[in-house]
């Protein structure tokens, strides 16, 4: 445990396991567990932080309960650029949220996300998200997709810049 009380503890840590196709993300938040869980599960609040400003999230369906489901879209300039859906396998208030996640563009792909919410003391909350993919290929594609989107976003910005000339 190398985390300190400085701003560093706020930083996201990530681990791609070499033995199993998982990604583990850990992040602490400056808020009590109840509030973090609510921001994580209230669709109006989720829409405020899930996507970047230039590709906001439009929540189409959100039934938060064990056995419930969700569906949302990423938007750009009022147009859908990607849609995602899944089920809430378990919604254990303030403690644990287990959900599946599928990107419509890769309909055979499904990731299991297990988020746990822990009291980290001093009104802070530690969230750990374990994402389990079906294969190393799928897990690595998830990691790589961040890069692709980043590049696509970069080009889109360049387009905008050039169009404004």
Residues that bind other proteins (CB under 8 A): 10-14, 16, 18-19, 23, 25, 27, 29-32, 34-36, 38-42, 44-45, 48-50, 52, 62-64, 136-137, 139-144, 146-147, 149-150
Contact 69, 61 (CB under 8 A): yes
Nearer to other proteins, 2 or 163 (CB): 2
Min dist. Cβ of residue 122 to other proteins (A): 14
- CA dist 6 and 121 (Å) reads 14
Min dist. Cβ of residue 165 to other proteins (A): 28
Least Cα distance to 91 among 123, 62, 60, 111 occurs for 62
Nearer to other proteins, 3 or 164 (CB): 3
Least Cα distance to 74 among 60, 58, 89, 90 occurs for 58
Question: Partners of 88 in the beta sheet?
Answer: 68, 99
Nearer to other proteins, 48 or 66 (CB): 48
Nearer to other proteins, 10 or 66 (CB): 10
Q: What are phi and psi of 52, to 5 degrees?
A: -65, 165
Min dist. Cβ of residue 163 to other proteins (A): 25
H-helix or E-strand spanning residue 162: helix 136-163
Instruction: Indicate the DSSP class of residue 5.
Output: S
Min dist. Cβ of residue 12 to other proteins (A): 4
Nearer to other proteins, 36 or 73 (CB): 36
**CA distances (Å), 7 to each of 53, 89, 119, 141, in order?**
24, 34, 18, 31
Min dist. Cβ of residue 136 to other proteins (A): 5
């Amino acid at each position: 445990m190398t985390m300190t009380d400085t701003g560093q503890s706020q930083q996201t840590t990530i681990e791609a396991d070499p033995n199993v196709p998982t990604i583990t993300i850990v992040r602490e938040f400056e808020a009590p567990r109840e509030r973090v869980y609510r921001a994580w599960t209230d669709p109006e609040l989720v829409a405020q932080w899930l996507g970047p400003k230039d590709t906001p999230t439009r929540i189409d369906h959100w039934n938060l309960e064990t056995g419930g489901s969700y569906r949302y879209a990423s938007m750009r300039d009022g147009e859908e650029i990607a849609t995602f859906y899944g089920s809430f396998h378990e919604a254990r208030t303030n403690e644990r949220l287990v959900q599946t996640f599928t990107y419509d563009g890769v309909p055979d792909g499904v990731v299991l996300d297990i988020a746990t919410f822990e009291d980290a003391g001093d009104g802070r909350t530690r969230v750990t998200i374990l994402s389990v993919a079906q294969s190393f290929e799928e897990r690595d594609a998830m990691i790589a997709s961040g890069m692709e989107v980043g590049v696509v976003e970069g080009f889109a910005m360049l387009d905008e810049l050039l169009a404004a000339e």
